[in-house]
Structure 1
Amino acid sequence: MHSSTLVSLAEMAARQSRLLKRDGAVQDARDLAVRALALLWLAEPQPVPIPVRNRLPSQHR
């Protein structure tokens, strides 16, 4: 697939993800957003920043 096709698919998936989130389907929206990012990365590979938590949620006081 051409990178422009992958970018278009990623943009459509991102729009659909926002609509799903608005409708309350948060997990489906999150899953689709991850797929959109994967498509975009396939089109134009770049390093992806990943947030790292220093503590587990149970350790917050």
Structure 2
Amino acid sequence: MHCSGTMRSIAEIAGLLQQPAQIVKVLVGDLLDCDALELANPVSFAREIVDKELLEALLEGLQKL
């Protein structure tokens, strides 16, 4: 599957499958209901990938605007 071992958004999955996002949302919902798919916690994932230096550079760039 396109998502095996990787977190992906509904939009990414829809793009990979070349299907409308609404269709993919229904499919993902059905897969979640039958425990065939695991929903990742985006908050905990975001904490793992946050790079303080990157955020500081982003803030600095925004302040220059």
Give TM class, smaller chain: 0.3 to 0.5
TM-score of the pair, normalised by structure 1:
0.32
TM-score (norm 2): 0.31
Bigger radius of gyration, 1 or 2? 2
